[in-house]
Amino acid sequence: MTSERIVDIPEGTHVSFEKGFIVVRGSKGELTREFNHPFIRVEVKDNKVIMKTDHERRRTLSILGTWRALIKNMIEGTNHGYEAKLKIVYSHFPVKFSIQDSSVLIQNFLGEKQPRKAYIIPGTEV
Per residue in 20-30, pLDDT (tens digit) is 999 999 999 89
CATH 3.90.930.12 domain extents, the chain? 3-80, 84-121
Per residue in 34-69, pLDDT (tens digit) is 999 899 999 998 999 999 999 889 999 999 999 999
Would you state the pLDDT for residue 44?
Answer: 92
pTM: 0.76
Superfamily of domain 84-121 in CATH is: Ribosomal protein L6 (3.90.930.12)
User: What is the C-alpha to C-alpha distance for residues 11 and 26, in angstroms, rounded to an integer?
Assistant: 9
What is the topology classification, in CATH, of domain 3-80?
Answer: Outer Surface Protein A; domain 3 (3.90.930)
Contact yes or no for 9/68 (Cβ under 8 A) = no
Select from 94, 85, 87, 17 the least CA-distant residue to 48.
17
Would you state the pLDDT for residue 67?
Answer: 94
Would you state the pLDDT for residue 124?
Answer: 80
Q: Within 13 Å and on the Cβ side, how many CA atoms surround 84?
A: 5
DSSP per residue, 30-69 = EEEEE---TTEEEEEETTEEEEEES---HHHHHHHHHHHH
Reply yes or no on whether the pLDDT at 1 is more than 80. no
* Residue count (the chain): 126
Would you state the pLDDT for residue 91?
Answer: 85
